[in-house]
């Protein structure tokens, strides 16, 4: 993992959210909670 990945910046909306790191660890997606929910409902 690169150092720049160790932040809380969502890859989808580029917003800083504490949930980004949680979602990266739990789900493997570096996204915030709201982007994760929309990914779950509307998978690409
Ligand atoms: Zn987001």
pTM for the model? 0.72
Instruction: For residue 37, give the 3-state DSSP assignment.
Output: helix
- Report residues near ion ligand 1: CB below 5 Å: 10, 12-13, 32, 35
| Number of domains into which the chain is organized | 1
CA dihedral 2, 4, 5, 6 (to 10 degrees): 100
Examine the pLDDT at 26 and tell me if it is beyond 60. Answer: yes
Return mean pLDDT, the chain: 86
Which domain, by its residues, includes 35?
3-41
What is the token pair recorded at 29? Answer: 């997606």
Query: How remote is the CA of residue 14 from the centroid of ligand 1, in Å?
Result: 6
Query: How remote is the CA of residue 16 from the centroid of ligand 1, in Å?
Result: 8
Query: How remote is the CA of residue 13 from the centroid of ligand 1, in Å?
Result: 4
């Amino acid at each position: 993992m690169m150092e720049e990945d160790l932040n809380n910046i969502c890859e989808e909306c580029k917003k800083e959210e504490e949930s980004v790191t949680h979602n990266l660890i739990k789900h493997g997606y570096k996204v915030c909670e709201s982007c994760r929910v929309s990914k779950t409902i509307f998978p690409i």
